[in-house]
Amino acid sequence: MQFTQRTLVRTLSVAACTALLLPLACSSDDKKTSSPDGSVSDTGGTPGSGGSASGGKTSSTGGAGTGGSATGGTTGTGGSEKDGSVDASPDSSSTVDAEVDSGSPDCTAPADSSKAKACLVLKPEVVQLGATPDLDGEGKLLVLVYDTPTPTAQTAPIATPILYPPPQADGGVSLANVYELPTIPLDGLPEKVYIRTIFADNLAWLATKTGLTWGLFIGGVNLNDGVQPPPPLREVDLVKGKGTFVTQNLTAMRKFSSHVALLGAPAPVVPGDDGQGPLSVGVFQQASAAGAQIFGGVQLPCVDVKTAAVDVAGFFYGSGDTWFGAQLDDFNKGVQQGPGTIVSVDQSSNIPASQKLTVAADAYSVTIPQITLTHVQQGYDGYDPYACPVPGDGGP
């Protein structure tokens, strides 16, 4: 159940140990969701069109831009930036993640008839927004367009990235409401693109623009099979010389909170070493974690579970029956459930029933009372002991 940076980091990587180093993903049988009123603004046909962002925060103007953010123009405009997304509720039954209405009269033709144009309509998953800034639905939208379904951190977008709303001229911060996003026109594109859309409700993500954490709404990524191995972006087909509406469902990255503790009396767990090492928490849609698809989690570089319980917070997506399991790599071997690791399983080698939640379809944040480490994997005889580095001791 251990998550390693090498296996998980590819398209997006997480912020330092506060979110799991993972790329994106979506469910092929995702159900569609929409904004609370059942629709999304569909007015942005040509560059410069679209409505302003509202929702209690300052709206801003700006359209197609350069240098990673949108500048100039009017609110809701888009440039050469695209990202196809889907609603990835894993328990849903039927959804097409990128609906295309080719040649719609409301999505005008591209400026260059040898190119194609997309009019991006965003439909965020409907969740109950919270009161804290990382879960209140107020944030910024980033749109990226690629010519490959598997971009890496080194892959350059084929169009200028769009950040909406753009920065204010005076340096002020403008935010949009996730349920009041305008249609984004994306002009000058080839006929086949891969569009990634990320709405950052959790603004801390913007510091690195990498990885997954809670408080993001993700579009354009195939999340059907979880986040490991790194999932690809979904293909979007356009028509040369025409404008095409592309509907993208945005999947909410929900927050989970808990604490991880060793099993205590009457049969306490005795670590093979000292109970210090990297800690991984994984989120699953089945009780058995062995070989299961991973739908979120968190990784901490080194903790001490023998001294006290460790508070954790991470992300996941989807609803319905959900299991939260953990593993501590006591000897820091970096091997999934290797000898000496302390895992969270019951006598049937499943995640304990106490760590299962039935997540409501509109839940944006959940709490698991406790994630308990219950079993030490044997076979560690002869292993060197490991302890978390003390800050300033020159350790890793």
More confident residue, 222 or 41: 222
- Residue 169 makes CB contacts below 8 A (sequence gap 6+) with none
* CB-based contact 162:64 (threshold 8 Å): yes
Q: pLDDT confidence of 394, banded at 50, 70, 90?
A: low
- pLDDT of 395 reads 54
- pLDDT of 75 reads 27
Q: pLDDT confidence of 50, banded at 50, 70, 90?
A: very low
Q: What is the mean pLDDT of the chain?
A: 78
Q: pLDDT confidence of 267, banded at 50, 70, 90?
A: confident
- Number of alpha carbons in the 13 Å side-chain half-sphere of residue 294: 28
* pLDDT tens readout for residues 87-103: 333 332 223 334 444 44
pTM reported for the whole predicted model: 0.75
- pLDDT of 281 reads 97
For range 8-35, the mean pLDDT = 29
- pLDDT of 203 reads 96
Q: pLDDT confidence of 82, banded at 50, 70, 90?
A: very low
- pLDDT of 230 reads 87
Proportion of the chain above pLDDT 90, given as a percent: 64
* pLDDT tens readout for residues 278-328: 999 999 999 999 889 999 999 999 999 999 999 999 999 999 999 999 999
- pLDDT of 221 reads 95
Look at residue 362 and tell me whether its pLDDT is greater than 90: yes
Look at residue 56 and tell me whether its pLDDT is greater than 80: no
- pLDDT of 26 reads 25
More confident residue, 2 or 278: 278
Q: Give strand pairing partners of 326.
A: 281
- pLDDT of 239 reads 97
* pLDDT tens readout for residues 138-188: 999 999 999 999 999 899 999 999 999 988 888 788 999 999 999 999 999
More confident residue, 64 or 292: 292
* Angstrom distances, CA of residue 58 to CA of 1, 92, 100, 122, 123: 43, 35, 32, 20, 21
Look at residue 376 and tell me whether its pLDDT is greater than 80: yes
* Angstrom distances, CA of residue 150 to CA of 20, 92, 145, 193, 277: 19, 25, 12, 12, 32
- pLDDT of 393 reads 58
More confident residue, 187 or 86: 187
N- to C-terminal Cα separation, the chain = 23
| Beta strands at 162-164 and 276-284: parallel, antiparallel or unpaired | unpaired
- Residue 39 makes CB contacts below 8 A (sequence gap 6+) with none
For range 364-392, the mean pLDDT = 94
Look at residue 35 and tell me whether its pLDDT is greater than 70: no
Q: pLDDT confidence of 216, banded at 50, 70, 90?
A: very high
* CB-based contact 209:171 (threshold 8 Å): no
- pLDDT of 118 reads 97
- pLDDT of 205 reads 96
Look at residue 27 and tell me whether its pLDDT is greater than 80: no
Least Cα distance to 103 among 119, 121, 83, 80 occurs for 119
Look at residue 13 and tell me whether its pLDDT is greater than 60: no
